[in-house]
Structure 1
């Protein structure tokens, strides 16, 4: 199988680099300065064992590839807000032997949240969800790092909306050869919703920096408890805390790399890079949406969503809001929140 990594940033670049290291054929899809650096110098991947450079084909879109191969795997690793544009670009690309990518090729969603899988299923027949547990950083154009050891990450994988198949198992085997653990599960959405609850704190990290005191941890607990209440009201199952600990304990430990301490996760990196967009609509915003659909108040997640979008739009510095200010705004939001509306029947 050839892996076409659509969005070769922190997650996509790490997965692509590790697959290349394991001898798999990889094509990287990127844009702008990152694409130029990949084309000129190759992908530089920094991991605990050291830095390696991989000279891989790098393209901006499908045109240079011509017809896709019947054995290609499309790995979608763009931020959720860029999913529709990526699907528009790749869905109708012809595949050797007839048909299009949307009709014939597997699409693997290496993304946070749950919305990308739903968007993909509107266009692609074979969609695979992944619960991405992969600490990685876009360091600079052409350079990504992943500090996890002994495994680089854990990637629960399964068909969407549910099920498994031989393609999932083949992809998982390739990932296992590339320093990942990739359990194939029939209920990958359970793991994605569990990760969603964790990711409700990424907006806090983007706004205030890593949680470092009791007030920060208390606010994060409140935001996740609100998310838990919304999922319960919606009847959405997710992997529990003990199940997650058993799946991950001791497998991905962060090791300091040469570029210094990791600044933060994907939302923090979006603000730090000044991209102008952030994933909050599909993380905290997912809880806000479900809360409105099922009659549960979610003022804290609404607040985090609104502030993260404002920071991204105004290109404000990552971590520049004092924790005390966010706590004050959170208390005000809870106090002012209207009673929950009746759920839609």
Structure 2
């Protein structure tokens, strides 16, 4: 198999870099300064275990490649960029298997409109991408946990089992499950914190009010999923599977700035994936008549931060509560 990583940022760069380091054939798809840096100096993959510099070819789109029958596409862009990526690749590659290694729960459905063989990936992979050509991962001894499964559900086929074996050989925990969406909805609840961190900062003993907000945001999400009848894996179930194989560690010389939403703000992308995280809870809440004031406030605030280029963590908990009360 050859793995074509569409979106070589934090998640895509980590997955592609580890696969290449383990001897698998990989192509990284990137654009702009990141593509230029990858071509010029290669991928610099930093982790608690040191620095790896796997040699990986780079493409900017399907026109740069001669696609093969054994190619596997791994989509690792943010959800707001999914449709554009699918429109770019489907005319050339809709016959190939496509894995959605993305947060949120809508990417697979979007992909299935254009690709016949779609697989879900629940991504637990703490990583950071702020500079062109460089990706940092923070978990050890394994790099991440990637639940894999046929979308929307069903028994695993040979393709996904072979992919899982390659990922396991590359330093990932990669269980193949018949109900991948149950895991992705669990990750969705966890990812509700991304916008809160991006807008108000990280919780800590110095700010108990912010810690309470984190709990309230999670509670809204769990209540909405319960009202919608959507099952999701418990945190205890996830923690038991991770065990001691995935522990957050410091990487010398690297400051961990936060999750993917905070990183989007720091990179000045101008967009953020909150509509498909907190916004998913807001949508389900409206469909099932469950109030979601905090998630609605976070959706609005995070989009404002991205649009206006505001610095992460500069809204106070009191301001967020006032915004929630006004909606």
Q: What CA distance in whole angstroms lies between the structure 1 residues aligned with 2:210 and 2:60?
A: 40
1:16-31 aligned at under 5 Å gives the runs 16-31=16-31
1:126 aligns to 2:120 (yes or no) = no
Which residue pairs with 2:285 in the alignment?
Answer: 291
The aligned counterpart of 1:98 is: none
Q: TM-score, normalised by structure 1?
A: 0.92
Counterpart pick for 1:242 among 229, 236, 247: 236
Answer with 221-230 or 317-326: which moved more. Answer: 317-326
Q: Deviations over 1:94-139 (max 9, x none)?
A: xxxxxxx21x211000100101111011111111101100000003
8 Å CA contact 1:139, 1:145 repeated in 2: no
Q: How many residues align?
A: 324
Q: Kindly report structure 1 stretches of 4+ aligned residues shifted beyond 6 Å.
A: none
Tell me if structure 2 keeps the 8 A contact 1:41–1:55: no
For residues 54 and 22 of structure 1, the distance between their equivalents in structure 2, rounded to whole angstroms, comes to 9
Q: CA deviation at 1:145?
A: 0.6
Aligned to 1:69: 68
CA drift of 1:324 comes to 3.3
- Alignment check: 8 A CA contact 2:200 2:317 kept: yes
Aligned partner of 1:178 among 145, 152, 170: 170
SS at match of 2:18: helix
Query: Are 2:251 and 1:257 aligned?
Result: yes
Query: Which residue number in structure 1 is paired with residue 191 of structure 2?
Result: 199
* SS of match in other structure, 1:197: helix
Gaps of 5+ in 2: none
TM-score, length of structure 2 as denominator length: 0.97
| 5+ residue gaps, structure 1 | 94-100, 338-345
Following TM superposition, by how much is the alpha carbon of 1:223 offset from its aligned partner in structure 2, in angstroms? 1.1
Alignment of 1:203-242 (within 5 A): 203-212=195-204, 213-242=207-236
- Verify: 1:4 aligned to 2:4, yes or no: yes
- The structural deviation recorded for 1:323 is 2.9
On the 8 A contact 2:20/2:55 being kept in 1, the answer is no
* RMSD value, Cα: 1.1
Q: 2:180 aligns with which of 188, 200, 203?
A: 188
